[in-house]
Structure 1
Amino acid sequence: MKLVIENLNKTYANGVQALQNVSLEIPTGMFGLLGPNGAGKSTLMRTVATLQDADSGSIKLGALNVQSEKQELRKVLGYLPQQFGLYPKMTAEVLLNHFAVLKGITAKKQRKELVAFVLQKTNLYEVRNQHLGGFSGGMKQRFGIAQAILNNPKLLIVDEPTAGLDPKERNRFYNLLSEIAENTIVVLSTHIVDDVKELCTQMAIINAGNVVLQGNPIQLIEDLKGRIYQKTIRQDELANYKNSYQVISEKRFLGKPLIQIVSDKIPGDGFVAVDSSLEDVYFNQINIQN
């Protein structure tokens, strides 16, 4: 099964064109949607999740027309938005049971077994009777996934899921998503490059409402191989280097600017060749667009 998005457009009432002819083909497995804040990622995710309508274009999940068969899509959809609220005085088990009822699982025994299963899968079973108000950020994110997979979804959408998580919780979340993606289409929307590098076999970069690049992360990194150079410079030289070279990123090293450039030929001028990375792929595309 594939999620196929074709020529999707969305313009808000204030005139902001959030999506511009977005087309993507997403197979079973983990798919990364990478882009800066305000790029259109959340707009695209909300549209696919039937929370808002596109102005034009089409979305299909297998043979299912997402826009005209919204209720059918919701039966096979799991969705974890960027921000979601919980009832702090309810326990994880009680609230998941409530969500299961809302998802149409009415048989008490089946519901009990299902809630126990997703609690085990998200490593929350031991704290199932703890109030959600006492959960850490990572535990809340795992609870969000637990409610999203109650209906054994064919499509799981997660929007900025690891923002604010510590490294341990982040790795735990990675492992959980990877396991789910073995049999499910998982769309991971994020601005964190490492999320995509660690998890996804296919990806796309979106910026200003446009899909500017898509493909396999390893292949995209390979395409930049031998073209990335870096150099430490003085702060007062930065503007000149930006005028002379295609500078894709700048950071601090021992208090001085460290710039990276893309060049098809050896630039000389003190630049040193370095291995390409997915971060370079990302910054290169964003800088081309800007």
Structure 2
Amino acid sequence: MELKIKNLSKTYSNGVHALKGITLNIPQGMFGLLGPNGAGKSSLMRTLATLQQADSGSATLDDLDILKDKAEVRKILGYLPQEFGVYPKVSSYNMLDHIASLKGISNKGERKELVASLLNKTNLWDVRNKSLGTYSGGMKQRFGIAQALIGDPKLIIVDEPTAGLDPAERNRFHNLLCEIGENTIVILSTHIVEDISNLCNNMAIICLGEVVAKGIPNELTEGVKGRIWTKAIEKDELAHYKTDLQVISTHLKAGKTVIHVLSDNKPDASFEAFAANLEDVYFAEITSRMNSTLV
């Protein structure tokens, strides 16, 4: 099974060019879509989820045309948007049973078995009779995944699924996504680099509506290996370093501003080599793309 996206473009009525010729081949398993807010991730997810029409390009899941055969796509699609509402006074059991009915599972016994399986899979069985309005953020996210799994989907899209979750909920959610990704295509759209690094065998980085990098996370990291340098500086020195060097990221540590610089050679003796990681790849690609638009 493979999702093929070719030259997908979308411009909104307000003139925002959200997608600019996106081309990706996404195999079965977990695929990470990484990018900053406003990069075009949600626009791509909404297009693949048949919620909006692309201006041009194509997207196919094996022989199924996602852009044209929307009714058929929805039969095999599971979608968890970044924000979704719930009926606060309805229990998770009754809500899943209702959604299953809407998806065409008419046999009551079959629905009962399916709902029980999903509630156990998402660790919600013990709270199945509690109203959704009493659920924590993590529990609501797990309910979102449960409803997305109804109908044995072949393509699952999750948009910023771990935003706002505490570490324990985030870890449980990661384990659940990995289990799901063994038998289907799961697209994980996020701006959290660690989520992609921990979960995905394949990924792409999107910025300003364009794919700026794609491949296997470890191989992408190899591309900046030996080229990342770090140094702690005073805050008022940052502008100077940004003028002379390609500063890709900064963070505070013990009252100092720590910078990461991308350079083929050691900038000067005061810098130390840094073992590159996927976050460095991300910031290198994003800053390079941002800077090129300012030239």
Superposed pair shares fold, TM > 0.5: yes
Matching residue of 2:283: 283
Matching residue of 1:7: 7
Q: CA deviation at 1:239?
A: 1.0
Matching residue of 2:173: 173
> In structure 1, what is the Cα distance between the partners aligned to 2:220 and 2:93?
43
Letter paired with 1:70:
K
Q: CA deviation at 1:168?
A: 0.3
Tell me the secondary structure at the aligned position of residue 79 of structure 1: strand
Tell me the secondary structure at the aligned position of residue 280 of structure 1: helix
The answer on 1:62 being equivalent to 2:62 is: yes
Tell me the secondary structure at the aligned position of residue 164 of structure 1: coil
The answer on 1:160 being equivalent to 2:163 is: no
Tell me the secondary structure at the aligned position of residue 140 of structure 1: helix
1:50-72 residue CA offsets vs partner (Å, 9 max, x unmatched): 00000000000010011111111
Q: CA deviation at 1:244?
A: 1.0
Tell me the secondary structure at the aligned position of residue 264 of structure 2: coil
> In structure 2, what is the Cα distance between the partners aligned to 1:265 and 1:26?
35
> In structure 1, what is the Cα distance between the partners aligned to 2:27 and 2:236?
48
Matching residue of 1:191: 191
The answer on 1:226 being equivalent to 2:218 is: no
Letter paired with 1:24:
L
Matching residue of 1:79: 79
> In structure 2, what is the Cα distance between the partners aligned to 1:128 and 1:251?
43
Tell me the secondary structure at the aligned position of residue 236 of structure 1: helix
1:124-153 residue CA offsets vs partner (Å, 9 max, x unmatched): 111111111111100000000000001110
Tell me the secondary structure at the aligned position of residue 68 of structure 1: coil
Q: CA deviation at 1:236?
A: 2.1
Matching residue of 2:40: 40
Q: CA deviation at 1:223?
A: 1.6
> In structure 1, what is the Cα distance between the partners aligned to 2:285 and 2:67?
31
What TM-score, normalized by structure 2, do the two folds share?
Answer: 0.97
Tell me the secondary structure at the aligned position of residue 150 of structure 1: coil
Matching residue of 1:238: 238
Letter paired with 2:40:
G
Q: CA deviation at 1:238?
A: 1.0
The answer on 1:135 being equivalent to 2:163 is: no
> In structure 1, what is the Cα distance between the partners aligned to 2:34 and 2:104?
34
Q: CA deviation at 1:269?
A: 3.7
Matching residue of 1:211: 211
1:47-92 residue CA offsets vs partner (Å, 9 max, x unmatched): 0010000000000001001111111110000000000000111001
What TM-score, normalized by structure 1, do the two folds share?
Answer: 0.99
Aligned residue-pair number: 290
> In structure 2, what is the Cα distance between the partners aligned to 1:269 and 1:87?
61
Letter paired with 2:260:
Q
| Consecutive unaligned residues in structure 2, runs of 5 or more | 291-295
Tell me the secondary structure at the aligned position of residue 83 of structure 1: coil
Letter paired with 1:28:
Q
Letter paired with 1:231:
K
> In structure 2, what is the Cα distance between the partners aligned to 1:275 and 1:140?
37
Matching residue of 2:107: 107
> In structure 2, what is the Cα distance between the partners aligned to 1:235 and 1:170?
33
Matching residue of 2:293: none
> In structure 2, what is the Cα distance between the partners aligned to 1:66 and 1:227?
41
Letter paired with 1:247:
V
Matching residue of 1:121: 121
> In structure 1, what is the Cα distance between the partners aligned to 2:250 and 2:108?
57
> In structure 1, what is the Cα distance between the partners aligned to 2:228 and 2:67?
43
Q: CA deviation at 1:273?
A: 0.3
Q: CA deviation at 1:178?
A: 0.2
Q: CA deviation at 1:243?
A: 1.0
Tell me the secondary structure at the aligned position of residue 36 of structure 2: coil
Indicate the percent of aligned positions where both proteins have the same amino acid: 61
* Root-mean-square deviation (Å): 0.6
Letter paired with 1:163:
A
Matching residue of 2:258: 258
Name segments (4+ residues, structure 1) moved above 4 Å.
none
Letter paired with 1:229:
W
Matching residue of 1:90: 90
